[in-house]
A and B are shown apart, each in its own frame.
Chain A
Amino acid sequence: MNSRKKALCVALWLACLLGTTYAVCNQSNSSQAERDLWNQHGCWQAFFLWQYLAYDARASNWSNRGFFDACNVNLEYPKHWNASYLLTYKLNDNNDQSFHGTVDYRATAEAASSNFHNGFFHLAIDDNSVYGAFQPPDQLQTSCPLYDNATPTANNNPASRAGDFMHEGWHAWMRKYNWNNGSCGGHRCSGCSFGSCDYFYFHGISQYVFGAMWENNGTASRFHSPNQVQVEFLCDVADQSSAPASVKTAARADANARSAARFINGPGYRCGDPRPW
C-alpha cells in the first residue's frame, strides 16, 4: 500500500474522530442579561413547546445543548428559545415609533416559508469564527459567540442572539428573491471597518406598515440589508420594548456599534441618546 493511500486513510479516520468528539461551546454559565430576561418568564414550558416547532429546532441538532434540559439557562437551546421569547413578546409595536413590528421580526426569524424567506431550520454550530450564518438552502446557524460566556464576546445575550436571527434570516430573504449583496459571506468585501460591509437603506418611521418589511421596490428607496435589519431590530428592543434594562442596554450597545462600523454609507441610525443610563 503506497504512502499516499495510507495518509488518506489516516486523514479520514482523524476527520471522523474530530467530527464525533468536537466539543460544544462552553455551556457552564449565562450572562446577567440572559438571566434577567429568563426570570421574567421563569422557564415557560408552553412557550418552548411552541418554539421548537416555530423555529424547527430539532432534537438531532440540539440534544447535547439542552433540548432535553430546556429549563437550564446555562445551555444553548434554552438560550436560543429565550431569545425567541424576547422577539415574540417584548416589543411595543408602536406604529408611530417602532421601525418594524413583531410580525416582521417573527417572520424573519421563524422557520416557516413566507414572503420573508423559504423554509429553514435553526441549529447551533461550534465555531468561534462566526456569530452565525445562513447556509443555503435551509440552515440558520448560530454559534458560540452568541451563547458562550467563556468567549470574550459582547453578544452572548438574548438581544444580540435574536438580532442575529434577523441578520441570518435576511440573508435567506436575499436568497429567496435573488438579491446579490456581495461576495464576502453575502456582504460587500470593503468600505467599512471590517471585510464585510452593507449599505444602509435609510427609511423613516411608519414607512413600512407592520408586516411589510419584506417588500422592496427594486431601488435603494425601499430595501433592507442584513446588518440594517439587525440594527433596526436591536433599536426596537432598546427603545421600544418592555425587556429588562440589562437586555435593552446590551441591545443598544450592539446596535450602535454595528451602526458605526458595518456600513459603507454609515453611520446608520443611532439608538437612544448617550445618557449613560
Chain B
Amino acid sequence: MSQITKLADQRLQLVLVAIALLMFVTGCPRKPTAGPDAKPPSANEPAGPPPSAILAGRKLHNPPALTATGGDASRAVAAFIDWAGASLPEEHEDGRKALEAARGNKDVVKAFADEITRAQRTDHSRALLALALLGELRSPDAEQFLRDFVNQPFPTEGHKTTEGEIIEQTALGTLQAKAIDGLAYLNSPSANEEVLSQVSKHPSIIVRSEAISAYLWNQKDKEAARRTLLQRVLKGEERYIDQITRVEGERAGSFNPKLEAYLKAHPEVVPPAPEYEKERRQEPSNDRNLNPGNPPKY
C-alpha cells in the first residue's frame, strides 16, 4: 500500500513540476523573437502634414504679454510658459525682452512662483523652465521664493538606482541649480551670500557646482570672485572654479585654447590610458539588415 502511495506521489510531483515548467516557459517574459516582427507601428489618427509645413505655419516673435495683474496674471504667466517652452532659438531675445518689461510686476512674480510649486510635483521640465524664466525676470520680489526653493529639504531616500543615484535627489538638485542661477543673476548682496553659502553647504555637487559657476559668471571682477570662491569651496572641489564652459555659438578657436590652458593648469585630470578586457571576445554583428534607408526628408 505504501509502495502504491509512493508511486502516486512521485507521479504527482512529476506532473506538478512539468506544469510549473510549462507555465514558466509560456508565461514568463520571453526573449524577443529573432525574426522580424511582421507588423509596423500604426496610429489611430490620419497622417498630417510634414514638420516643415507645421513649422512654416508657426507665427514667430510673438510672445504673450506679461502685463496682466491680479488673477489674470496667473493665466498670462501660464500662457507665457507655454510659449517659452515651445519657442525657437531665434525667439530667445523676444522672451528676454518680455520678461525684462515685466520685472516690476509683483503679480507676475507670484504667478511664476505658484506655477513652479505646482509643476514641481507634476512636470519637471515645466518647473525647470519656469524657474529659468523667473530667474531671468531678475526681480527683487523673486529673491525670497528662490532662496526658499534652494533651501527645500534635500531628500535622503527615494527611488535608488543600481548606480547609487537617488532619482528624487537629482530631480530636486537640477531644479535648485536653476534657482541658484536666478539668485546669482539678481546679484544683490543677500542673494550672493545665499549662492556662496550653497557653494559649501548644499549636499549635492550638482548645486554646489552650479553655485560656483553662476557666482563667477555674474561678477565683473573675476579675480576677486575667484579669491572669494577659493575661501568658500569645499576641499577637493577647487577645480570646479576653473571648469571649462562651451557657451552657445562658441567656436573651436575660442574653446580649444581654454581647454588647453585648463589641462595645463590641472594635469591631474588627464585620465590613465583605457584598458582592454582581459579576454578578447569576437561576437557576431547581430545585424538583422532591416535596411531602413535614409530618414524621410522634412
Contact = CB atoms under 8 A, between A and B. Distances in A.
Interface of A: 1, 5, 8-9, 12-13, 15-17, 19-20, 22, 31-34, 36, 39-54, 56-62, 67-72, 77, 88-89, 96-97, 99, 111-113, 118-121, 123, 128-131, 136-139, 145, 149, 151-157, 175-176, 178-181, 184-185, 187, 193-196, 199-202, 204-206, 216, 218-220, 223, 235, 238-242, 244-246, 248-250, 253-254, 256-257, 259-261, 264-265, 267, 269-277
A17 B208 CA distance: 46
A261 B51 contact: no
Contacts of A273: 217, 245, 247-248
Given A123-B32, A145-B159, A246-B85, A178 B277 contact: yes
22 contacts: A16-B24, A32-B81, A34-B125, A40-B55, A51-B295, A68-B42, A71-B43, A89-B298, A97-B250, A118-B283, A176-B283, A184-B163, A187-B163, A194-B163, A195-B163, A201-B271, A202-B259, A218-B273, A239-B247, A246-B125, A267-B240, A276-B185
B33 to A, nearest CB: 5
Contact of B285 (A118, A235, A261): A118
B163 A185 contact: yes
A111 B163 CA distance: 25
Contacts of B123: 31-32, 149
| Most chain B beta-carbon neighbours within 10 Å: one of A39, A119, A184 | A119
A57 to B, nearest CB: 8
A154 to B, nearest CB: 4
A193 B243 CA distance: 17
B55 A205 contact: no
Interface of B: 9, 12-13, 16-17, 19-21, 23-24, 27-29, 32-33, 36-45, 47-51, 54-55, 81-82, 84-89, 92, 95-96, 99, 122-126, 128-129, 131-136, 158-165, 167-168, 170-171, 173-175, 177-178, 181-182, 184-185, 204-206, 208-210, 213-214, 217-218, 239-240, 243-253, 255-256, 259-260, 262-263, 268-278, 280-281, 283-293, 295-296, 298
A277 B243 contact: no
B206 to A, nearest CB: 4
A194 B204 CA distance: 11
A240 B249 CA distance: 7
Contact of A58 (B33, B84, B293): B33
A220 B124 contact: no
Contacts of A15: 24, 28
Contacts of B159: 128-129, 145, 151-153
B27 A43 contact: no
Contacts of B210: 256, 260, 274
B45 A257 contact: no
B50 A277 contact: no
A46 B47 contact: yes
Given A58-B33, A111-B288, A267-B239, A5 B17 contact: yes
B170 A257 contact: yes
Given A72-B44, A119-B288, A199-B272, 18 more contacts: A9-B20, A44-B48, A46-B296, A71-B45, A111-B287, A175-B283, A187-B163, A196-B162, A204-B260, A206-B256, A245-B87, A245-B129, A246-B84, A254-B174, A260-B210, A270-B246, A271-B245, A277-B84
Contact of B124 (A71, A153, A245): A153
A179 B124 contact: no
A156 B124 contact: yes
Nearest to B49: A42
Contacts of B87: 244-245
A239 B181 CA distance: 17
A53 to B, nearest CB: 4
B124 A31 contact: yes
Contacts of B173: 257
A49 B40 contact: yes
B41 A154 contact: no
B137 to A, nearest CB: 8
Given A42-B51, A137-B286, A138-B286, A53 B209 contact: no
A60 B244 contact: no
B128 A277 contact: no
A273 B47 CA distance: 40
A241 B185 CA distance: 25
A5 B248 contact: no
Contacts of A99: 246
B207 to A, nearest CB: 9
B24 A113 contact: no
